[in-house]
Amino acid sequence: MPLVPMDQMLKDARKEKRAVGGFMIWNYDSASAIANVAQKLGQPAIFIIGEGEAYTMGGFASVRKIAQSVADNVNVPIALHADHFRDYDKIVQAIVAGYSSVMIDASRFPIEKNIELTREVIKVAHAAGVSVEAELGRLPGNEGDEDVTVAESFQTDPDEAAYFVEKTGVDALAVSIGTMHGAYPASFKPQINIDRLKQIAAKVSVPLVMHGGSGTPEDKIAEAVSCGIAKINIATDLVTVTAKKIAEVQQQPDFRYNVTNVYQASKKACEELVEARMRLLNPSIR
């Protein structure tokens, strides 16, 4: 299937009180693992990739070619999403390369500047049939080349969220409700602010996105989905399980440096995690 925007799949998800996983890709195998599980379960999936990861895969056009080659082998909707892009020109490059969805992260700016930058991206993206995600509020943790301390972070204000969506016409809004980008340090315990999420969901009609899905307790993820979250990003967990499996295989007594065996094992571990997360995000999966 052709790569598709993510707006309709997220609208359907929110309406049905389920969520679509935004799974990070970093090579062909990671994308293939996600698509294989999506096909098996009959679920849509979103490939998310940051600017840095895109360069390690040969650039935006190369990423699109890999994503499309994987999507061609399944008959479930697959979106290719530029995650946490901050530069307008880079977003345009991703759109021209064939990404079907983009995120403009201007959350570091005051709300009016965030609105201005988001509207600029929406103008060019929607003209190309590409969906747009934006972010309001700031999550702590590391995202690409940016580190945000707990002190610098703040949660999304429900009234500001409603105002932001009204002024921009954005397709999906990432909100800050107590999660963290990257791995949770021992000193940080996720405290998901469900009451705030409910207030935001009551005021905002577009699908809501939760970043920092890795490491967040499963019961809190399920509760967030039931209260309006329609997309959850999962990156750190995928990288961790893949790296651990490669290390585990290397410690086996009969291990030989066979590239196929190593990567088949890591791909299977990736598939197992993706399936577990897809089932968590959509309890109706049989």
Residue among 7, 83, 157, 237 flagged as catalytic: 83
Residue 240, amino acid? T
- Burial code (b: 16+ CB inside 10 Å, e: under 16) for 120-143 equals bbbebbeeeebbbbbbbbbbbbeb
Single out the residue of 131, 230, 243, 229 nearest to residue 183, CA to CA: 243
Strands 78-85 and 172-175: unpaired
105 in catalytic set:
no
- Torsions phi, psi of 93, nearest 5? -60, -40
**Distance in angstroms (rounded) separating the CA atoms of residues 220 and 200:** 17
> Whole-angstrom Cα distance, residue 168 to residue 134?
9
What is residue 105's three-state secondary structure?
Answer: coil
Residues in the chain: 286
Catalytic residues: 83
